[in-house]
Amino acid sequence: MLSLTNKRILLGITGGIAAYKCAELTRLLIKAGAEVRVAMTRAATEFITPLTMQALSGNRVSLDLLDPEAEAAMGHIELARWADLVLIAPATADFMARITHGEAGDILTTLVLATSAPVALAPAMNQGMWADAGTQANLAILRERGFAIFGPASGEQACGDVGLGRMLEPVELAEHAAALFEAGYLAGKHLLLTGGPTREALDPVRFISNHSSGKMAYALAAEAAAAGARVTLVSGPVNLDTPRGVKRIDVESAEQMLAAVMEEVANCDIFIGVAAVADYRPAEVVTDKIKKSADELQLRLVKNPDIIQQVAQLQRRPFVVGFAAETTDIIANGREKRARKGLDLLFANDATATFNSDSIAVTALSAQQETEFAPANKQVVARKMLQLIANLVA
């Protein structure tokens, strides 16, 4: 399965008739999971418009090296750093000659010089130009420097000639681009996670909540995205940045979290319930702020929905993973919770040592086995957890 999940591809378009194929190429790269940004030479705009490429990529197209808006933040350098892969398609004979000699006279040649990402070229030119000794000498130098060369193909050309020089078709270019990246152990999987606490309102200014920081869920989301998964994170209120490549849905209450999960769960392969969902909520939310008057205040609480159990009971359900943050009898309580809720896997841990901490120790509990993960940074443990999950769902 073609997968470019969470990859950042900078598509460079030069001035050749094959530039029209970049519309379909962009569509295929995005469909494979990549984020695409486009940089074009001025000659390329004679063949396909920047507006077309902006509409297809969803990002502003870079055209000028000395763009006053972009250069306020050294835009071309930021773009060069952003990319996981620079793909030049089509790569004309002129462009190949210029980058062979280290020229930096426009946005695209400058990006090629500035980036530390791999650069791939999809040559496209007349068969005579391709066969020319100068082009072949440039090609040899570029290959020696580590440039990936995709094609060209042989066939009928726009000028009527037949021979080598046609740009590869978009689907072939997308496949070659994907082959440059090692497929992650979760490639092609969609993970849905919950994370952080929930807040259950008492009145407009007060709520019931807990000490969950969300760090474990966010570590899992980041590692899953790095492993090639498409990741959706339903998050309660936390002070954390969204991991790269992760779709984040913000919620407050348990009922909001349940609604968001049920909206997404039909399309996921793995569900991981990490959130510290409040077990109870106030039976009534007061419209106005509760005044401090009486010496005592009684609250009537009602049970919140059990999100992970509802997911586990779905007729068409994903692989369901839960967490049990316990204060006593951690393993025994974890076993009981996994069996009672019908979970495929559960990670049990000491709640008093986990909340707001950067490290964690857990025991993975399934019907077949129990595996201990020694105390370590949550990012490290998250990777081990996901590798175990990947092995179980393979």
Name the residues annotated as catalytic: 159
Q: Report which of 300, 387, 316, 374 is spatially closest to residue 345, judged by C-alpha positions.
A: 387
Residues 6+ apart with CB under 8 A from 104: 110, 113
Whether the CB-CB separation of 228 and 183 falls below 8 Å is answered with yes
Angle at 215 between CA 322 and CA 283, to 5 degrees: 65
Residue located via tokens 């999987």: 189
Residue 242 in tokens? 């969204």
- Separation CA 370–CA 364 (nearest Å): 5
Q: Report which of 38, 35, 68, 64 is spatially closest to residue 51, judged by C-alpha positions.
A: 38
Q: Report which of 134, 65, 131, 46 is spatially closest to residue 96, judged by C-alpha positions.
A: 134
Alpha-carbon distance values, 327 to 5, 213, 265, 335, 366 (Å): 38, 17, 30, 14, 20
User: 88-98 as b/e, with b when 16 or more CB fall inside 10 Å?
Assistant: bbbbbbebbeb
Query: Checking phi first, is residue 119 left (phi over 0); if not, alpha (psi -120 to 50) or beta?
Result: beta
Residue 70 in tokens? 């972009």
User: Residue 85 pairs with which residues in a beta bridge?
Assistant: 9
Upstream peptide bond of 90 is cis (omega within 30 degrees of 0): yes
Residue 303 in tokens? 């049970």
* Kind plus residue range of the DSSP H or E element containing 270: strand 270-273
For the chain, where are the alpha helices, taking DSSP H only? Answer: 22-31, 50-57, 68-71, 75-82, 93-100, 107-114, 127-131, 133-144, 170-179, 215-226, 254-264, 307-312, 330-341, 378-393
- Reduced to 3 states (helix: H, G, I; strand: E, B; else coil), residue 34 is coil
